[in-house]
A and B are shown apart, each in its own frame.
Chain A
Amino acid sequence: MHIHPLTRRNREGAVYQRQDVVEEQIRFALTLKSTDMIKRARIRDYTGPDYLKEECLVYLIRDYKRRGERDVIEELSKILLARCSKYINDGLQALSTGKGDHSCTVDHAFQDVVDGLFEQIMDLQSDRGDFLQVRFQVVLEKLRISAFNRYVEDLNRSKEAKPWTSVSGHERNPEEEDKEHRTSNAGLPQEEGLSTEQQALNREALGEVLDFIEEPQRTAFILRHGYDWPIETKDPRLPSISKFFRRTPRTISEWLKKAEETIEKLRKERT
């Protein structure tokens, strides 16, 4: 049974290749009647030997679409959605933070991801969905992040910090600003050169206080303390928080200082 090869090339010019196990599964599935193939596709235990990988399901949907068998296409699509819909939805829940009901935002983002996924699968006139047959999960994650990217700006516009009546403005000493504008460590360990494990732990600890910080300070804070982004860099080709927001390093430092003061006050209140 001939399996149609992938034709899309990566940036290095090499044609994408399916994993051997995916090719074997496709070969086997094509020998089955559609009813038996669907029964097999419904197996959810991914550790079992009879499980058909998502990459295989993508090929089968495209194959049945060429044959024009809509019932089978819909069944396979339903099976694929059952496997990944919770993953998609859970990964977009961060869009639900902030003031007000953002469940619509999450729903729209979810539909965007599904639309992006199936547009590629169903587009028989191009090979842009080829990578779905190579690394399905990677493409799904990319679609999820891209959808988040599209909606996060709306989220940030509506974001207001949780009220914190004990927060007072910090009266800065102008002489201190020049010395301190590159540092941002009030109440937090020195971030330079932290291991990825420590960064992950920091992010976990950050999660519970982020609702108290308003945008754009919050994003700057996450990048600085969760991912070790520099405020500024000497090399203009390298990314920095200052470059991303198109603000001076001094402004970024002030944002971070404000966020840290908020967190410090929160900690004191809780102890």
Chain B
Amino acid sequence: MNERTRRETIEDVLNAYVDSATESSYTALTEWIQRYPEYEKELTDFTVSWSLRETLPRSADAKEVDEETLVLRGMSVVQSILNKEEQEGIGKRRSFSGILGEGKACGMSIQKLADATELSVVLVRKLDRRLIRFASIPAEAINNLAWAVARSFDEVADYLRGQPTLSASTQYKADKTPELSEPEDFFEAVRNDETLPEEWRERWLALAPPEI
């Protein structure tokens, strides 16, 4: 486990720990150490600080600060975060590397992408390879994808408009590259996808244009 993953996981454990105990307690600590012995040190250090924070008195000389001042201080931090992102141009200059590629850049597996967009893994793959006819893709699906991979609607739409691609892992015995069949209609793909949860299928099909 790399350092970033471990840090995120301990944060999850600490969130759950604080959620379970209304205040610092030795009993809660022992239970949680038994549950997560690999985080014994972090849980113990955290609990000791929690205990001190609850018990140590405020200094008589401590300065009272009004809410307005605190909000201004907090906003300077928020603006730093926003400015830093704008300067780094997150997502603006980097070229779009496909649905799966962008999902991977966000640390999302294909399953997570599917869950986040209310699509199936099969549909996500088809969209990534542009095997779905662009004109049939509802705006909501494009919006969901944009949200999930933290890119703009237009960037995702531009990608999906492109030519279909073959799977990188597929091998062929033919002398020349096989041709891809016509892109599939989105709603037809939804209807035929047995892996898509029924609730999601109904939601997508509700957006289908009426059959003539």
A2 lies within 8 A of B144 (CB): yes
Closest Cβ neighbor of A63 among chain B residues: B147
A81-B59 contact in complex given A2-B143, A7-B108, A203-B54, C-beta closer than 8 Å: no
A239 lies within 8 A of B44 (CB): yes
Instruction: Assess whether A102 is interfacial by the CB under 8 Å rule.
Output: yes
- Knowing that A7-B112, A149-B46, A230-B26 touch, tell me 11 more A-B residue pairs with CB under 8 angstroms: A2-B118, A5-B118, A7-B115, A11-B13, A74-B82, A96-B59, A103-B62, A135-B15, A142-B11, A208-B57, A210-B57
Instruction: Assess whether B140 is interfacial by the CB under 8 Å rule.
Output: yes
B18 lies within 8 A of A102 (CB): no
Which stretch, B65-73, B125-133, B164-172, B174-182, touches the partner chain A? B65-73
Q: Produce 1/0 per residue, B148-180, CB < 8 A to A.
A: 101010000000000000000000000000000
Instruction: Assess whether A118 is interfacial by the CB under 8 Å rule.
Output: yes
B51 lies within 8 A of A152 (CB): no
Closest Cβ neighbor of A202 among chain B residues: B55
Which residues 63-104 of B have a CB within 8 angstroms of A?
63, 65, 67, 70-71, 73-75, 77-79, 81-82, 85, 90
B105 lies within 8 A of A125 (CB): yes
A74 lies within 8 A of B75 (CB): yes
Query: Considering the complex of A and B, which 8 residue pairs feature the smallest CB-CB distances, nearest first?
Result: A94-B56, A85-B70, A149-B49, A93-B58, A124-B150, A96-B62, A81-B74, A96-B59
Give the residue of A78, A82, A208, A227 whose beta carbon is less than 8 angstroms from that of B25. Answer: A227
**Within 8 Å CB of B144, what residues of A?**
2, 4
Q: Produce 1/0 per residue, A67-103, CB < 8 A to B.
A: 0101001100110011001101101111011100111
Closest Cβ neighbor of B85 among chain A residues: A122
Indicate the member of B46, B54, B77, B118 with the most A CB atoms within 10 Å: B77
| Number of B residues, CB within 8 Å of A | 71
A98 lies within 8 A of B59 (CB): yes
Which stretch, A24-32, A34-42, A106-114, A257-265, touches the partner chain B? A106-114
Complexed CA–CA distance, A118 and B108 (Å): 21
**Within 8 Å CB of A203, what residues of B?**
54-55
Give the residue of B36, B50, B107 whose beta carbon is less than 8 angstroms from that of A125. Answer: B107
**Within 8 Å CB of A107, what residues of B?**
73
B44 lies within 8 A of A196 (CB): no
**Within 8 Å CB of A146, what residues of B?**
14, 46, 49
Complexed CA–CA distance, A52 and B36 (Å): 35
A85-B67 contact in complex given A96-B58, A115-B77, C-beta closer than 8 Å: yes
Complexed CA–CA distance, A77 and B74 (Å): 9
Which residues 228-242 of A have a CB within 8 angstroms of B?
228-230, 237-239
Give the residue of A115, A131, A207 whose beta carbon is less than 8 angstroms from that of B57. Answer: A207
Indicate the member of A73, A93, A207 with the most B CB atoms within 10 Å: A93
